[in-house]
Homo-oligomer: A and B are copies of this chain.
Amino acid sequence: MEPIKSLDQMVEHVIKSGIKKKIAVASGEDQNTIGAISRAVKDGFAEAVLIGNKSKIEQRAKEEGIDPSIFTIIHCDHPSNAIEKALEMVKSGEADVLMKGLVGTDEFLKAVLDKNKGLLPPGAIMSYVAVMQVPAYHKLLFVSDTAVLPFPDLKQKLAEIKYCLNMARAFGIERPKVALIGASEKVSPNFPNTIDYSAICKMAERKQLDNCIVDGPLDIFLACDKESVEIKGVHTPVDGDADILIFPSLDACNAFYKGLMLFAGAELGGLIQGTEKPVVVMSRSESEKSKYYCIAMSCLMA
């Protein structure tokens, strides 16, 4: 498989591979969700089960010029019932992907994390992986964590790396280059993350990490720009050609990706990882395109 280099190529790949997954949408009542998922249904890689107020769903679909009969609609009066029903379908294997609709993120994630009815195996770490397409970069960037883990510790960083590697491999990147991001390439007790990074590099050296190239701390220049690597004269196997960026904090990852979406024309798709099945949680401010990419990615990873 050739490495996938753009989000549109990812969608093409999903379509060509004949992938078809069933997505259970909790409270799929808003126009945004209905718009994005209808496109995925029309493109043939998703079947959608919208759980929520049936008449509202039908009305919204019609307002958007969408025939509601392309969806399976399950009527539910209350959002928390809708979450419960959607979770049940995914947990039992009836559906392949869980997706959040018009319901609070906190309430939704609480249900996903529920010990008995939820989707997180005991001891597993939940994290969010986003795939960024930055026009000025020569390939896709897998970044973590944009949304779930505020200050990842060493175990959580290792989980983030594992999830990014899984996803990069699904995109055809056999031996991904992982950059552990800091403000510079120096290890310092003032930046505790750089100590974790050193441990991760040693683990890679001891072959405790699966088929990848890892280095850090590296700043964004050293991670993504060969010229900077030459100018600074830093020896690093990532060599300005990173596939995966692991950030020291959610704040750092969040500011990075939002800056590039706003000012560098970046597009993004993302997924919750660590759960038994992929979970799609999209924020209101994400573009229609971005939401569509999230859905396609969830079908690829399911």
Question: Taking beta carbons and an 8 Å cutoff, which residues of A are in contact with B?
Answer: 134-137, 147, 150, 181-183, 190-191, 193, 219-221, 224-225, 228, 231-232, 247-256, 258-264, 266, 284-285
Assuming the contacts A262-B224, A285-B228, asked whether A251 and B249 have C-beta atoms less than 8 A apart, the reply is: yes
Most buried by B among A221, A249, A255, A266: A255
Assuming the contacts A231-B284, A254-B183, asked whether A134 and B263 have C-beta atoms less than 8 A apart, the reply is: yes
- Decide if A183 touches B134 in the complex (CB within 8 Å): no
Complex: A250 Cα to B248 Cα, angstroms = 11
A135: chain B residues within 8 A (beta carbon): 263
- Decide if A225 touches B262 in the complex (CB within 8 Å): yes
Q: Which residue of B lies closest to A150 (CB)?
A: B190
Most buried by B among A137, A182, A251: A251
Kindly identify which residue among B190, B221, B266, B285 contacts A221, using a CB–CB cutoff of 8 Å.
Answer: B285
Kindly identify which residue among B191, B249, B263 contacts A137, using a CB–CB cutoff of 8 Å.
Answer: B263
A42–chain B nearest beta-carbon distance, Å: 25
- Decide if B150 touches A250 in the complex (CB within 8 Å): no
- Decide if A136 touches B264 in the complex (CB within 8 Å): yes
- Decide if A232 touches B182 in the complex (CB within 8 Å): no
Q: Which residue of B lies closest to A219 (CB)?
A: B258
- Decide if A136 touches B263 in the complex (CB within 8 Å): yes
A263: chain B residues within 8 A (beta carbon): 134-137, 260, 264, 266
- Decide if A255 touches B285 in the complex (CB within 8 Å): no
A284: chain B residues within 8 A (beta carbon): 231-232
Complex: A137 Cα to B191 Cα, angstroms = 31
Most buried by B among A228, A232, A252: A252
Complex: A219 Cα to B193 Cα, angstroms = 23
A124–chain B nearest beta-carbon distance, Å: 19
A255: chain B residues within 8 A (beta carbon): 181, 183, 219-220, 247, 252-253, 255-256
A17–chain B nearest beta-carbon distance, Å: 30
Q: Which residue of B lies closest to A134 (CB)?
A: B263
- Decide if B181 touches A220 in the complex (CB within 8 Å): no
- Decide if A183 touches B221 in the complex (CB within 8 Å): no
A283–chain B nearest beta-carbon distance, Å: 8
A136: chain B residues within 8 A (beta carbon): 262-264
Beyond the given pairs A147-B183, A253-B255, A263-B266, 16 more chain A to chain B contacts, judged by CB atoms under 8 angstroms and listed by A's residue number, are A136-B264, A181-B251, A181-B255, A183-B250, A183-B251, A220-B255, A220-B258, A221-B261, A248-B249, A249-B249, A252-B252, A252-B255, A256-B259, A259-B259, A260-B263, A263-B264
- Decide if B260 touches A260 in the complex (CB within 8 Å): yes
A262: chain B residues within 8 A (beta carbon): 136, 220-221, 224-225
Complex: A183 Cα to B252 Cα, angstroms = 8
Most buried by B among A136, A225, A258: A258
- Decide if B285 touches A251 in the complex (CB within 8 Å): no
